[in-house]
Structure 1
């Protein structure tokens, strides 16, 4: 009697226990080995291992794979995959390999064969998710691959070239009646891609090569019906790459230019590119101009950040079609409404409704527009979709028209400094963030070296920052003293015959104005608005006397709100004073635990080396790679922190000293300070892509904070993980992810652990209550209250994320404002 097929979710949950078998011997970057063994199980390679010598599993595995290669029609491709993955397999013990083979043999055969392809893909995506952005095997989201595939419409017998192919995400979805040529430079990624094609039975009819798509572009020298790619975003090219457009600085311009040359007369290009390609100048501007003037661009779909596994930046999907049906126009789609938030860290494209919207292409929906090539040309070939979706604002009253800023403001073009000098230089941080107090106090502007790009302010002006997400409108009253402003500050004279200064500054913070500005802004990491676009923003302009009345009313409302907040703050301060001693006791216990653990480790080290000469340079811990001197310095550091905490209690009401600190270094120092290698290991992952400042430098991750407060915050999160999450488990990890969110201009810190999930119903609010019991241990959860308070003290935000299906089920997400120099 044939066994009943298990429902896929049930089968997957059981099969994914394979990841746990690898947990103690492999790093997360090697978890892609799981789908490889699923494939070997499907191919029957593992069946004979249980019949052989259990002490020599690796040798058997190698022989069995080579035996399979000889008889199977894989053209030696599995042989190359095995050779690439062998260094990882060699790190596994025979016991672990045998445990895995026995576990895979326990699968219900009918269910496994039925669910194999779905299980293979799910395990590959799970491995990629565990690996995170710091890893190398980045999978294109399935929904994005399906969208690209649906837009291809490659004719039967057509040829497809896929440079920068990654692990063959598009090759897997291609129809069997097309010739697929893929190319990937990374051996591990290529091996996984080859394995995917084998798993889906598409390896023999497709050509998927290990190669460099830049140095060895189109190695077959063919013309193609479709050229499709998701090139590595932000990749810079050496100066030697150029053509009629000029020198290629980015891989995006290289790809589009080369693809155009190798396309058939009715061919199509589909590219996943960073949104910067839509508006940057130089070579990319020339390419966009060619695409519009030759009527090749068919569609641009823009997506928000947080979708791709290897970067948080927004991106766009471009369709270039030599045989496009709708001539003289481009279909622009803002796909923000077709993206769902799966978790605080993950967003997913809703493929079905997005595909339906593209198919129907109705302009009345607010997220889709057909824009003429002529209109795009008037915007200097800027393809950023936001500017084409600005809704027309209707005047509320006849005597309250909407007026463009360009008709109220006139740029002040001050002279450049003649030579190197010092003076008062207005920086972005000197501008005001609030409309209530908008006058610049020049006495607070620091004296510094004046850069050549600065300009002199020799008259009163409204100062606006054209970078970041706020204009920070500030009024400079000229009093005869020489003062300078940086190039990122736009200085404008105001037509005070038409608009009141205070009223205009208030309106520049109004929602309807900010919405317009957001549509014009470009740039994922550091948003930017040009003067031309800014001057097209409209503001409501009632008569002058009405403007002044509204300003006074707004100031009175703000004053009343601030008074209420002041009373609330005083009440909260009293409560915090009572709680402070309980908090200090909790922190002191943590430091004492750390010192106690350190002393015990010292005692163990001395017993081990009893009678031997010991030097400060001797290796103390193989796990941490620390010397005796470094260990003793760590103990001294904990004692110093205790002393500073006790001293701080005496001056609690005094203002804490804060510093400009590098968050990366701060986390590394905290990890070193609170390390407990016998119980857990630390991991640090930095999303460097999110910190890239367009074509310029990398954003410096500075925050303003008291160092002791940060250590207190970090140690409390660590202590809660140790007490409530780990228990006596092995293989414990505390992982810290750092990224930058351009939307909020904040540095994001996510501290996660792979311990036990939080109890059902336990949330951020309970975590923040002082003394709340937490976890299966029901021990005191006082640390969460301190985390919440410290984050509030530095104008940050925090969230508690619980996901019991994740490998890191408990995460504390913290955001601190980026300090902009």
Structure 2
């Protein structure tokens, strides 16, 4: 296969997924995902660099100093010994793990503004891959997998940058679905993130934040919407992620998607929010989106009373359920005029009482809650429970809350359910119209919600009861008599046949 042969997204995805075979059976998927994703990153930057180098070489021929100058203008720098191809050439000699680690740190140092600390949690020279001989063999196989022609990721061959970003997303999604909850914690299904982004309707020039950003896909969906509609990259993405290796994925993901105008911090959003303004207050955003961990037990209850950002002034969430901690953090970071947010929550958030009931009441009385959307079950990896989407706004059109029951619109898969484009569009159209729809949506007044003790359980507002058709007893009796007569006729016929055959 020559370097100019075009390749489809599916072929790249399949080749990357088969590279995981090197680890299967020897290393847990929650561990090897970091190695495969990091190798994909290294291979891609090496191919881009090689492509551009050869392009300049064609242009400037025997002027190495000119080529060097041109390469300084690239989006990133690849030090000579850090290339995938150097590592691949040395794959049969001992020390693969150490060489790969050194290459990654050299890349980080050469691009410190974009990749600071990204590889600190990823150790190819780790005992997790077995003792020295086994580790060296596994890594040799991995280098060979990525050297296959199908994974030639040069821009001159794959065309758009998103091909690699999409392969990255594909891998993350597959790790989430095959390793259950452990990998699924940081992955929002693409249709759900698409729905959230479209509900938020991001505009050019806006600042968008995800305080539990995982691998960054939800943030990037919002950015992509702006680019698709306006062609502009004039927006900024902000995120924070508590798990170090997942934070590193988000940084690499942003880098691969060409999202240079971003700031993604590593740390616990509730205990230690890092997205602050120059006065050390919480930074405000036009859009805040998140799929926080469901009902997190140890979320930081012990420090909530003394929170210096006053995020819990409407009430302190229960010690063992952190859902409202994330909701209240997000509310606090919405810009006063344009601020809007969409958050995925388990259904308990809509009706649980005590502290959560008091917080819910405050949010409704302050007229912040805009839409409550019930989603189908089995949409999210690692949990079959249905979730809901809450949309809150600083500047609402009215004082009502729109309830949408979208729980019955989906395509059923073997282990997973999916939202189709029609399902998404129906939610979006209903949200835009902001009117009741039979058995699907209801616009509730503050008085009605208060009457329900601020319980937001969707069936209290959207009546999905299907009346059974009344039974016509006379018609049933008539049908029974007809069947009885038919049976008698068949019995007589059967007797005649038996007689004919000599049976009395």
Q: What TM-score, normalized by structure 2, do the two folds share?
A: 0.71
Q: Check 1:117–1:263 CA distance in 2 against 1; reply closer, same or farther (3 A cut).
A: closer
Equivalent position of 1:245 in the other structure:
314
For residue 290 of structure 1, report the CA deviation from its aligned partner. Answer: 2.4
For residue 95 of structure 1, report the CA deviation from its aligned partner. Answer: 1.7
Q: Which runs of 5+ in 2 are unaligned?
A: 47-82, 130-134, 224-232, 306-311, 474-504
**CA deviation profile, 1:65-118 (whole Å, cap 9, x unmatched):** 2333344x45252x6232211167554411221222122111243655653222
Q: Secondary structure of the equivalent of 1:42?
A: helix
**CA deviation profile, 1:536-585 (whole Å, cap 9, x unmatched):** xxxxxxxxxx9xxxxxxxxxxxxxxxxxxxxxxxxxxxxxxxxxxxxxxx
Equivalent position of 2:288 in the other structure:
227
**Is the contact between residue 436 and residue 443 of structure 2 (CA under 8 Å) also seen in structure 1?**
yes
For residue 355 of structure 1, report the CA deviation from its aligned partner. Answer: 3.0
Query: Residues of 1 paired with 2:384 and 2:84: CA distance?
Result: 40
Equivalent position of 2:38 in the other structure:
36
Task: Determine which of 325, 335, 349 is the counterpart of 1:277.
Answer: 349
Task: Determine which of 399, 409, 413 is the counterpart of 1:338.
Answer: 409
For residue 122 of structure 1, report the CA deviation from its aligned partner. Answer: 0.6
Q: Check 1:340–1:138 CA distance in 2 against 1; reply closer, same or farther (3 A cut).
A: same
**Is the contact between residue 301 and residue 317 of structure 1 (CA under 8 Å) also seen in structure 2?**
yes
For residue 42 of structure 1, report the CA deviation from its aligned partner. Answer: 0.4
Q: Does residue 289 of structure 2 align to residue 288 of structure 1?
A: no
**CA deviation profile, 1:572-619 (whole Å, cap 9, x unmatched):** xxxxxxxxxxxxxxxxxxxxxxxxxxxxxxxxxxxxxxxxxxxxxxxx
More helix by share: 2
**Is the contact between residue 268 and residue 321 of structure 1 (CA under 8 Å) also seen in structure 2?**
yes
Q: Check 1:87–1:331 CA distance in 2 against 1; reply closer, same or farther (3 A cut).
A: same
Q: Does residue 330 of structure 2 align to residue 259 of structure 1?
A: yes
1:718-797 correspondence to structure 2 within 5 Å: none
For residue 294 of structure 1, report the CA deviation from its aligned partner. Answer: 2.7
Equivalent position of 2:267 in the other structure:
211
For residue 48 of structure 1, report the CA deviation from its aligned partner. Answer: 1.4
Q: Secondary structure of the equivalent of 1:318?
A: strand
Query: Residues of 1 paired with 2:3 and 2:24: CA distance?
Result: 35
Q: Check 1:275–1:186 CA distance in 2 against 1; reply closer, same or farther (3 A cut).
A: same
Q: What TM-score, normalized by structure 1, do the two folds share?
A: 0.45
Query: Residues of 2 paired with 1:219 and 1:285: CA distance?
Result: 29
Q: Does residue 428 of structure 2 align to residue 358 of structure 1?
A: yes
**Is the contact between residue 298 and residue 331 of structure 1 (CA under 8 Å) also seen in structure 2?**
yes
Query: Residues of 2 paired with 1:133 and 1:88: CA distance?
Result: 27
Q: Check 1:391–1:333 CA distance in 2 against 1; reply closer, same or farther (3 A cut).
A: closer
1:343-492 correspondence to structure 2 within 5 Å: 343=414, 345-360=415-430, 361=433, 363-364=436-437, 366-390=439-463
How many residue pairs end up in the alignment? 395
Query: Residues of 1 paired with 2:465 and 2:25: CA distance?
Result: 60
**Is the contact between residue 141 and residue 308 of structure 1 (CA under 8 Å) also seen in structure 2?**
yes
Equivalent position of 2:99 in the other structure:
60
For residue 150 of structure 1, report the CA deviation from its aligned partner. Answer: 1.3
For residue 382 of structure 1, report the CA deviation from its aligned partner. Answer: 1.4
Q: Secondary structure of the equivalent of 1:177?
A: coil
Q: Which runs of 5+ in 1 are unaligned?
A: 401-545, 547-821
Q: RMSD across aligned C-alpha pairs, in angstroms?
A: 2.9
For residue 356 of structure 1, report the CA deviation from its aligned partner. Answer: 4.2
Query: Residues of 1 paired with 2:429 and 2:124: CA distance?
Result: 47
**Is the contact between residue 138 and residue 309 of structure 1 (CA under 8 Å) also seen in structure 2?**
no
Q: Check 1:137–1:57 CA distance in 2 against 1; reply closer, same or farther (3 A cut).
A: farther
Query: Residues of 1 paired with 2:355 and 2:42: CA distance?
Result: 48
**Is the contact between residue 245 and residue 287 of structure 1 (CA under 8 Å) also seen in structure 2?**
yes
**Is the contact between residue 100 and residue 124 of structure 2 (CA under 8 Å) also seen in structure 1?**
no
Q: Check 1:131–1:143 CA distance in 2 against 1; reply closer, same or farther (3 A cut).
A: same
For residue 164 of structure 1, report the CA deviation from its aligned partner. Answer: 2.1
Q: Secondary structure of the equivalent of 1:231?
A: coil
**Is the contact between residue 154 and residue 178 of structure 1 (CA under 8 Å) also seen in structure 2?**
no
**Is the contact between residue 186 and residue 213 of structure 2 (CA under 8 Å) also seen in structure 1?**
no
